[in-house]
Structure 1
Amino acid sequence: MVSIGYFLSCEEFGPRELVRQARLAEEAGFERLWISDHFHPWNGEQGQSPFVWSVIGALSEATTLPITTAVTCPTVRIHPAIVAQAAATAAVQCEGRFTLGVGSGEALNEHILGDGWPPAPIRLEMLEEAVEVIRALHTGEEVDHHGKHYTVENARLYTLPEQPVPIYVSAFAPKSAELAARIGDGFCSTMPDAELIGKYRAAGGKGPAQGGFKVCHAPTEREGVQTAHRLWANEQLPGELAQVLPTPKHFEQASTLVTEDMVAEALPTGPDPKRYLESLRQYADAGYDEVYVQQIGPGQDGFFDFWRNEVAPGV
């Protein structure tokens, strides 16, 4: 049986609203939380980008649901030693109900300090070394690490959870799925792709697979499509654009190529619960153990009522 969680969007909402949504999600029967980790939103219409670690601290007091970052990039903007400390503290705050989701990142968030943005193979290499550093620090031992990409000297974490923080690795292609199997405790993605999960399993990945998708509940399908197109047209951009475009302005320019029809075809919108259930089934059939749903736009309260009363009974 797939476990259903709610996806908190740091690109769309400020910290206090995210905490409010987490409470609503728990009341509506969602079993766990994803939360995005960005420095920038994807576009100006989304309009927010709070520091995720501060929000997680507040969430730890507001909800009892497990929390996973979806996902943190521990390679460029923030050194993996600092991510290790942040994740360990989050796990203590959440009394062990915290998972560090990691990925190779996007230029949108990672280039802000003037660092170069490496090609994908190097980014995966950096991610593997970063996870090595994080795991070493989570042992509580003093760490000296002199690797190809990172140096750590005389570093030790003193605030640690009782068990090491689970690390799940994001994957959108076969090489990253194989990396997730090699270095991760679990796998996460946003595509209902059974072949990709199969690559993860075939490479030895035994941990849970997390997947997520967006929806836009609204009084009419048309209104839902318009809201989703205004806020999240970037989701339909092809190829590696999401990884290499450097600013929200560039995403806005590229997203002019995305039509409302493309958005309507890609995600559930409007008041019919059948489309939401169909998307859930696609992810469950692809092999995901946990599926996270993100409501686009300001209609959060109506969405949670809709989910509780009309979608959940059909799951």
Structure 2
Amino acid sequence: MRLIFGSNGYQAPVATFGFHSSHEQVHPSALLAAVQRAEQAGFGFAMSSDHFSPWSARQGQSAFAWSWLGAALQATSLPFGVVNAPGQRYHPAIIAQAIGTLGAMYPGRFWAALGTGENSNEHITGGVWPRKDVRNARLRECVDVIRALLAGEEVSHDGLVTVDRARVWTLPPEPPPLIGAATSTATARWCAEWADGLITTNAPAEHLREMVDAYRGAGGRGPLRLQVHLSWAPDEATAEAIALEQWRSNVFPPPVCWDIDHVDTFDIVSEKVGIDVVRGVVNVSADLGRHAALLAEYAELGFDEIALHHVGQEQDAWIDAFGAKVLPELAA
């Protein structure tokens, strides 16, 4: 976050606005072209999802994020992050190796946000989907394992995850930041114990303010990041249609979104969801000024980096529109 000093000495926060790469919705080749276009349009960073399955059959994709991240870091000069859930689908030693390799190849440009995941991705290994308190404990073990490996240590560990004499041999000059992913104030406070920053998703301003206060109040360090779901089109009806078609399976709060185990179930339970419900989780508007105003409000809450996720599958038009109108307005 930059600070702009006015004539009265007031320090106005200026967040950096980035591009969210949604692998569940866009083919990786098209997504690579989109993130290159976003950099040219003025977006300041990028982040990536990491799913095995989409949230709806209508989304229709789910590429392997770590292969794509290497290509995207090479094809752009942007800083990148990824949201990852170690402990079940991924062994933490493998994630440490992946983080270490990208950090070594692109020093200072990569961060990883770590969370407890969703059953829709993790069930593929055939393991039992644990209770949330067990998933939290497992993640905490994974964080310690990953940090030790990125520090060059040989690690053995017996607990909710098992590690036997692991060592990551290719290491970056400095370990990339490990960010805490949270949607509740309780998790935000817990992340403050171990994270190098916090990331959450858009929500009513009061809840976001409580998230910031919970993390900072518990001693949380590092930058605050926000992922914002939005839908834009030149007319309101199209913006609504895009949001409803692509994102109505993503409206369910925890624990529902954590515990549903299959894409078909998401499509069944979201069949009757209407646009009013979708508007509760997606900023839907044809008005670029309205989008700019909402993003400015998020920045004023204290978020340093804000990743924009247009929930449509076609990315070019909104990237160009936001690059031409929204980003300059926010910078001004």
> Aligned equivalents of 1:165 and 1:303: distance in 2?
31
> Aligned equivalents of 2:151 and 2:209: distance in 1?
34
TM-score, length of structure 1 as denominator length: 0.96
> Aligned equivalents of 2:281 and 2:139: distance in 1?
30
| RMSD, matched Cα | 1.4
Q: Superposed, which structure 2 residues align to 1:131-142 within 5 Å?
A: 131-142=143-154
> Aligned equivalents of 2:231 and 2:136: distance in 1?
33
2:312 is matched with which residue? 297
Asked if 2 retains the 8 angstrom alpha-carbon contact of 1:237 and 1:258, the reply is no
2:137 is matched with which residue? 125
Structure 1 residue 37: deviation in Å?
A: 0.4
> Aligned equivalents of 2:105 and 2:57: distance in 1?
32
Q: Superposed, which structure 2 residues align to 1:80-95 within 5 Å?
A: 80-95=92-107
- Show CA shifts across 1:42-89 (max 9, x none): 1101111111110001012101100010x1000111111111111111
1:243 is matched with which residue? 258
Asked if 1 retains the 8 angstrom alpha-carbon contact of 2:16 and 2:305, the reply is yes
Partner letter of residue 215 of structure 2? Y
> Aligned equivalents of 1:266 and 1:121: distance in 2?
26
Asked if 2 retains the 8 angstrom alpha-carbon contact of 1:10 and 1:50, the reply is yes
The secondary structure found in structure 2 opposite 1:212 is strand
- Aligned pair partner of 1:209 in 224, 229, 237: 224
> Where in structure 2 are there 5+ consecutive unaligned residues?
1-13
1:190 aligns with 2:201: yes
> Aligned equivalents of 2:163 and 2:273: distance in 1?
44
User: What is the aligned-residue identity percentage?
Assistant: 37
> Aligned equivalents of 1:176 and 1:278: distance in 2?
28
- Show CA shifts across 1:15-60 (max 9, x none): 2111111101100100001100000001101111111110001012
1:75 is matched with which residue? 87
Query: Aligned pair count?
Result: 313
TM-score, length of structure 2 as denominator length: 0.91
- Aligned pair partner of 1:20 in 30, 33, 37: 33
- Aligned pair partner of 1:253 in 268, 274, 278: 268
2:172 is matched with which residue? 161
Structure 1 residue 219: deviation in Å?
A: 2.2
- Show CA shifts across 1:152-201 (max 9, x none): 12211111110012100101112311221111001000034110111001
Q: Given the superposition, is the C-alpha separation of residues 282 and 256 from structure 1 closer, same or farther in structure 2, using an over 3 Å criterion?
A: farther
